[in-house]
A and B are shown apart, each in its own frame.
Chain A
Amino acid sequence: MAPPKDPVSLAQLAVDLALKVGVDAADAFVVHDSHLDLEVRGGAIETLNRAVSRGLGLRVSLGKRTATAHTTDLDAYPLTRLATTARDMARALPEPEEPARYAPAQAIEAFPHPDPDLQSETIEAKAQRLAAVEQAMLSVPGLTRASSVGWSEHDAEVALVNSRGLSLYAPVCRVEIGAEGIAERDGESYSGGYHAAVPARRALPGPAEMGRRAASRAVELLGARAIPSTQVPVIFTPQTGWALLACLTEALRGDNVLQGRSYLADRMGQTIAAPAVTIRDNPQLTRGVLRNAFDGEGSPTRDLALVQAGRLQSFLCDLAAGAKLGVPGGGNAVRPSYDSRTEIGSSNLYLEPGADTPEAIVQATPRGLLVTQLSGWWVGRSSTEDTFSSAAMGIWIENGARAYPVRGITIGGNLLTMLQGIDRIGNDLELLNETSTPTFRVAEMAISGT
C-alpha cells in the first residue's frame, strides 16, 4: 500500500508503526518541498533546477536509548523497515544518563503561508525579475559585468508528530536572491554582491534597488589600496555586521554552556555589551525568513532577548538544555530538514536598531574603517574561542568622510571587547536575512595591513 501523501498522516503512520514494533516513544518529522533554482545570464535563463522532494526522519526511544533513521524513498525503504532499523539501533546502544525529550502534546497554530501564490508565478516571470536585477547592475558606472544572478525558492510543508499526542503542521516558505558583479580597472578585479533571504516575494526590495546595491559593492572597491597596520574605529555595514552575531551564537547555545564549552557560561546577568546593544532571537517575527510557531522539537517558539541593554539575559535552549538551566520549554531547537539532527540554534537573529543614520555614523568618525566585505571570519568560530579575526575590504574614512577603498587587511579583536565597544548603532536595520544588523561602529579594533 502506498504511503499517505499528506505529511501529517505520513508522520502519524510512522509513529504508529514505530510503537507497534515495540518502541516506548517516537517522533516523526516529514518535509515535503517544492524547490526551484534559477540562474540568469544576458537576460536569459542559463540554469534551471526543479524538483519536488519528500523525506521522513523517525526518532525512537527504548527507555532512554534513542536512535534516528531517515529516508527519502519510502518505496525502497518502507516505514516498517525504517522503524525496525531505528528500534534495533536504539536497542544496541549503551544506556545514556539523559533521556531523549519529546515535546508534550499541545495545539500550536502555524503561521499562514507567507506567499501562497509563489508557485503560480511562472518561471519566465521570475527570470524577468532576475533580468531586471542584471540590467540594473550593468547600468551602474564602473561595473564591468554581472557574474551571477540567481534565485532559489523552497515552498514546503512540514509535519511533526510524536507518541505523546503532538501533531503539528506548518507551511514553510523561503525565497532567496543573490547577485554578484565584477568591477575591473587597470588589471584589478573586485567582486561585490547582494543577497537576501525572505519568506515572501513582496519582502524583497525592487529589482533596480537590488541590482544597484550589488554593483555598488564591487565598484566602490576600484582602486583599493593597501594600508599600514593601525588601531582605529571600525564601522560594520549590514552586509558585514551580521558576522559578529553569528560568532556569538555558538557561545549562546545552552548545551555548550552546560558542557563547559562557552565563554559566556559564567556571564549570565552580567554586562557583556555596550548599554545600547540589544540582541534578539525572534522566531515569531513576521518578516523573518525563519519564522515558525514551533521549533524542531515541537515546542512553541518565543521572542527572546539574548542581550538586553548590554546585559546577557538568555541562552538559546532546547528542551534538555532548558530543563537544566531552569528555563523550561525550549524553543530554540533547529531542525533544517528530515535528515539533519536537531541542534540548538538561532532563528531570526538581529541587533536592535538605534537612532543614527549610517551617514551620521561616518561623519562622526574622524578616522576609521568602513568594512564592506569580510572573508574567513567563520573559520575560527567556536563556543570557546572569543576572538574575532577576518580578512576584510572596505572604505577608509578620513575627517568624517569616505576617502578611498582599502584591501589586503585583516581586522581582529576580542568579541566581547568589540560588543562593549559598540558606541554607535544605525537606524538602517533591514530584516532581509536570517541574521541581521543595522550599521554599527566599534570604538577600536586592530587592523593588520602591510
Chain B
Amino acid sequence: MAAISRRTFLKGACVTAASLSAPALLRSAGAQLRPKATEEFPGPEAFGRILTQALSRGGDYADLYLEAESSAQVTLADGQIRTMEFGMSRGGGVRTVIGDRVGYAYAETFEIAPLYEAAGTAAAIASSTGGLVLPTLAPIQFPHHMTIQEAIQCDQVASKVALLQRVDRAARAVSPAVQQVVIGYDESLRQIMIGNSEGELARDVLPLIYLRVTVTAARDGRTAEGMHRVSQRAGMEQLAGEMPEQVGRLAAERAVRMLEAVPAPTGEMPVVIAAGGGVMFHEAVGHGLEADAVIRDASVFAGRVGQKVASDLVTLYDDGTMPSARGTINVDDEATPAAKTLLIERGVLRGYLQNRRTARRMRTTSTGNGRRQSFRSPALVRMTNTNLTPGAEASEEILRATPNGIYAVYFGGGEVDTISGQFTFGLNEAYRIENGRVTAPIRGANLVGSGIQVLERIDRVGSDFATWPGTCGKDDQWVPVSSGCPTLRISKITVGGTA
C-alpha cells in the first residue's frame, strides 16, 4: 500500500564470521557463468506501443517493468520437512510520471492487451493530450556482479531436502541441550526486462538463496534461541562443502551460549559491535540518506551534504556491485546500472541515494538505487549492500580498551524514524564487557540512538569485516539487502534492558 507507514524496518539476521561472508571463496577461478535468460519477453516494438499509451495523456517519463520469477520455499522443523512450495509468477507494471505525480498499474501476464490496458490506467494520472515522442528502444550494456556455477532448479526436491537434513543433524549434534531446530530455505530465479521512455532497454537474471536456521536450546528450565543465516546472489555452489553444517552449528552454538544469559542492563554505556553488525548503519544512516525521504524533508540528513555528520572514522558506501552479495543487483529496477555510491567520507556527508524520480527532482543522476519488491509496485529508493569501510585497529584491541559496556555480536533487526533520526536495533547475542573482557551473555536488549549523535560517537573502528543478510521493509515493500561493517565501538549509547 502506498505510504501507510513511513517507518522502515529491517528484518532477518546474520553475523557471518569473516570466512563465511567473503564472496571470493564462492567464486572459483574457473568458468564464470551468467545465469541463463530463458523467459520469452515481448520485443522492443511491444514495449514502444505500451510506453506510448502510458504517455498518451502527457507525462515526463514512463517505464514498463516485466518480471518472471520461479521460486521454492522449504521448511524443516522437529526433524521433518514441514512445507515444500513452488511458485511461478509473471507480470508487468507500467509507471507514468508527471511532475511529482505517479500513476501505476500492473497486470499478471506478459500478454500485450492487458499490459496496454494497464498503461492506460497509469496514464490517467496525467490529463492532457499526448506529449513525449519516444526514441527507439535499444538495449543498454552494464557490468554483471553475480554468476551461477550450479543452477538453481526450483522444482527439484531431493537435493534441498538432503541439504536441510544436514543442517538439522549438525545443529542437533552440538549439544543435548538442543531441543528444536527450525530451518527456512528460500530460493528464486528472477528474470526482468525494463524499457523506458528514454529509449533504454535492459534485461537481467537474478538468482537468490536464503538459508535461515533458528535453534532453541533448553536446560534447567531455561530456554534460549540462536539464529544464523546466509544468503548470496549465486547458484547452489554457495552452499557447497561444509557450509550447511556450519550454518546449523553456528545457530546451535549461539543458542547454547545464550542459555546462560542474564537480563541486560539499562542505561547509557559503551557498546562494541562485532564485525557484521552493519544493521546499525542501515538504520542509523541508510534510510535517512534515501533521497525520497530527503525530498519530503523527512530526514535529519536533509540539507547537510558537505557537513560533518559522523566521526572521522566513518566512511560509508552503498554498494550494489559487491560480488554476489544478497543486496547486489546488476541493473536496478529502472534500468540504471548498479553502482557503488560514497555516502559518508571520513565523517562528512557526500550525497544521497537516488532513483530516477528523485534524481530528476534534485537535478542529479540516479545512483542505481531504484528497486521494487515486484512488478506490483513502482520503484522506490532502496539500499543494496550498505558497508562501513574497515579501519586499522585490531578488533581484540577495541575490546581490551573498553573497561565496561556491552559486546553486541548478533542482531535481530532494526527500525528507524527518519524524521526524528531515532533508530533502534535488537540484540540476539550480546555480552557484558567487564574490565576489558567479554563476560556474561545478556538477553532482551535493544539499543536505541539518535542518528547523527551516535555516528559522532564511533570512536574505534577495526580492520576486520563481515556482512549480515537482511530484508528491508519500506512503505510495505520488502527487498533483499545486506549490511557490512568491521568491529567498532560506540562510546556511549542507550541500552534498553530489563535489569
Question: Which of A198-206, A403-411, A422-430, A435-443 touches B?
Answer: A403-411
Is the Cβ of A97 less than 8 Å from the Cβ of B497? Answer: no
Is B87 an interface residue, CB under 8 A from the partner? yes
- The residues of B that contact A348 with a CB separation of less than 8 Å are none
Report how far A107 CA is from B449 CA in the complex, Å. Answer: 54
CB B180 to nearest CB in A, in angstroms, measures: 5
Residues of B within 8 A of A408 (CB): 422, 448, 450, 494
- Any A CB within 8 A of the CB of B223: yes
Q: How far is the CA of A155 from the CA of B425 in the complex (A)?
A: 36
Interface size class of B (residues with CB under 8 A): 35 or more
**B residues within 8 A CB of A148?**
3-4, 6, 296
- Contacts of B104 on A, CB cut-off 8 Å? 47-50
Q: Determine if A73 and B80 form an interchain contact, defined as CB atoms under 8 angstroms apart.
A: no
Chain A, residue nearest B499 (CB) = A446
A296 to chain B, nearest CB (A): 13
Contact (A379, B85) CB under 8 Å given A92-B157, A191-B420: no
Partner of B424, one of A70, A72, A191, A391: A391
A406 to chain B, nearest CB (A): 12
Q: Is the CB of B426 within 8 A of A376?
A: yes
> Which stretch in A36-44, A233-241, A299-307 binds the other chain?
A36-44
**Chain A 62-81 interface mask (CB, 8 Å, partner B; 1/0):** 00001111111101110000
Which residues of chain A from 165 to 205 have a CB within 8 Å of any chain B CB?
176-178, 180, 182, 188-191, 193, 195
Binary interface profile of B, 21-59, with partner A (CB < 8 Å = 1, else 0)? 000000000000000000000000000000000000000
Do A390 and B496 have beta carbons less than 8 Å apart? yes
Complex: A97 Cα to B424 Cα, angstroms: 42
- The contact of B90 among A48, A76, A195, A446, by CB within 8 Å, is A76
A98 at the interface (CB under 8 A from B): yes
Question: A50 to B125, alpha carbons, bound, how many Å?
Answer: 11
Contacts of A69 in B (CB 8 A): 85-88
The answer to whether A385 touches B161, judged by C-beta atoms less than 8 angstroms apart, is: no
Q: Please choose the segment from B106-114, B270-278, B335-343, B395-403 that sits at the chain A interface, where 4 or more of its residues have CB less than 8 A away.
A: B106-114
A120 contacts the other chain (Cβ, under 8 Å)? no
| B180 contact set on A, CB distance < 8 A | 259-261
A72-B108, A148-B6, A259-B180 known; A379 and B415 CB under 8 Å? yes
Is B404 at the interface (CB under 8 A from chain A)? no
B450 touches A191 (CB 8 A): no
**Interface pair A191/B101, CB less than 8 Å apart:** no
How distant is the Cα of A76 from the Cα of B110 in the complex, in angstroms? 9
In the complex, chain A residues whose CB is within 8 Å of the CB of B85? 67-70, 341
A68-B87 Cα distance, complex, nearest whole Å: 8
Q: Which residues of B contact A18 (CB under 8 A)?
A: none
- B4: which A residues are within 8 A, CB to CB? 148, 150, 152, 176-178, 195
Complex partner residue of A259 from B78, B105, B428, CB under 8 angstroms = B78
- A265 and chain B: residue at smallest CB distance: B223
Please give the distance in Å from A3's CB to the nearest CB on chain B: 12
Asked if B424 contacts A376 (CB within 8 A), the reply is yes
Q: Assess whether A379 is in contact with B420, with CB atoms less than 8 Å apart.
A: no
User: Contacts A69-B86, A182-B298, A189-B420 hold; do A387 and B6 have CB atoms under 8 A apart?
Assistant: no
B residues in contact with A450, CB < 8 Å: 268, 494
CB of B248 within 8 Å of the partner chain: no
Roughly how many angstroms separate A411 CA and B495 CA in the complex, as a whole number? 10
Q: Does A45 contact B (CB under 8 A)?
A: yes
Is B463 positioned at the interface, with any CB of A under 8 Å from its CB?
no
Binds A, one of B128-136, B193-201, B438-446: B438-446
Q: Is A96 an interface residue, CB under 8 A from the partner?
A: yes
The residue that A448 contacts in the complex, of B6, B86, B179, B494, with Cβ under 8 A, is B494
Inter-chain CA distance A411–B445, complex, in Å, is: 10
Query: Which A residues lie within 8 Å of B111 (CB)?
Result: 75
Stretch at the interface among A83-91, A109-117, A279-287, A358-366: A83-91
The answer on a CB contact under 8 Å between B89 and A37 is no
Residue A375 at the chain B interface, CB threshold 8 Å: yes
* A131 vs B434: C-alpha distance when bound (angstroms): 56
The answer to whether the Cβ of A93 comes within 8 Å of any Cβ in the partner chain is yes
A106 beta carbon closer than 8 Å to chain B: no
Cβ–Cβ < 8 Å partners of A150 in chain B: 1-4
Contact with A along B73-115 (1 / 0, CB 8 A): 1010110110111111111000000001111111111110000
**Across the interface, do A376 and B216 meet the contact criterion of CB distance under 8 Å?**
no
| Docked complex Cα distance between A385 and B87 (Å) | 33
Q: Which residues of B from 209 to 225 have beta carbons under 8 Å from A?
A: 216, 218, 223-225
B408 to chain A, nearest CB (A): 13
- Min C-beta distance of B297 to chain A, whole Å: 7
Cross-interface CB contact of A85 among B80, B155, B264, B443, cutoff 8 Å:
B155
Contact B105 A375 (CB under 8 A): no
Contact between A446 and B419, CB atoms less than 8 A apart: no
Expressed in whole angstroms, the Cα–Cα distance for A73 and B92 within the complex equals: 11
Contact partner of A391 (CB less than 8 A), chosen from B125, B419, B422, is B422
Given known pairs A37-B2, A191-B420, A375-B424, the reply for A85 and B77 (CB within 8 Å) is: no
**Contact for B106 among A51, A71, A176, CB less than 8 A:** A51
Q: What A residues does B145 contact at CB under 8 A?
A: none
Asked if A402 CB lies within 8 Å of chain B CBs, one says no
A191-B298 in contact given A379-B414, A380-B412, A391-B448 (Cβ < 8 Å): yes
Q: Which residues of A contact B105 (CB under 8 A)?
A: 49-51
Contact with A along B260-293 (1 / 0, CB 8 A): 0001101110000000000000000000000000
> Beyond A50-B105, A72-B89, A389-B445, is A376–B414 a contact (Cβ under 8 Å)?
yes
Interface residue B377 (Cβ < 8 Å from any Cβ of A): yes
- What are the residues of chain A within 8 A of B263 when measuring CB–CB? 387
Q: B378: CB under 8 A from chain A?
A: yes
Q: Which of A46, A86, A93, A449 contacts B100 (CB 8 A)?
A: A46
Pick the residue among A47, A177, A412 that contacts B498 (CB under 8 A).
A412
B426 touches A379 (CB 8 A): yes
- CB–CB A380/B103 < 8 A: no
B381 to chain A, nearest CB (A): 14
Per the 8 Å Cβ criterion, residues 350-395 of A in contact with B are: 375-376, 378-380, 382, 384-385, 387-391, 393
Does A384 lie within 8 Å of B7, measured CB to CB? no
Whether the pair B1, A448 counts as a contact (CB closer than 8 A) is: no
Q: Mark B223-245, 1 if CB is under 8 A from A, else 0.
A: 11100000000000000000000
Q: How far, in Å, is B471 (CB) from chain A's closest CB?
A: 13
In chain B, residues 354-376, which have Cβ atoms closer than 8 Å to a Cβ of chain A? 376
A71 contact set on B, CB distance < 8 A: 87-89
B216 contacts across to A, CB distance below 8 A: 259-261, 384
Inter-chain contact B84/A66, CB cutoff 8 Å: yes
A413 contacts chain B at the CB level, 8 A cutoff: yes
| A339 interface hit (Cβ, 8 Å) | yes
Q: Which one of A77, A180, A407 has the highest number of Cβ atoms from chain B below 10 Å of its Cβ?
A: A180
Counting chain B CB atoms within 10 Å of each CB, the highest count among A76, A260, A390 belongs to A76
**Given that A71-B87, A93-B81, A379-B415 are contacting pairs, would A195 and B496 also be in contact in the complex, using a CB cutoff of 8 Å?**
no
Query: Does B121 interact with chain A (Cβ within 8 Å)?
Result: yes
Known: A47-B2, A260-B216, A261-B216. A147 touches B296 (CB 8 A): yes
Query: Which 9 pairs show the lowest CB-CB distances between chains A and B?
Result: A410-B496, A379-B426, A387-B444, A152-B1, A376-B424, A178-B4, A92-B157, A391-B448, A37-B2
Question: In the complex, given contacts A260-B223, A384-B225, what are 18 additional A-B residue pairs having Cβ atoms less than 8 angstroms apart?
Answer: A50-B105, A55-B89, A67-B157, A69-B88, A92-B157, A93-B81, A94-B81, A148-B6, A149-B3, A176-B1, A178-B3, A190-B420, A260-B216, A341-B85, A376-B425, A388-B444, A412-B446, A414-B498
11 contacts between A and B (CB under 8 A): A48-B124, A50-B104, A51-B376, A55-B89, A68-B85, A147-B298, A380-B426, A387-B498, A389-B444, A389-B497, A412-B497
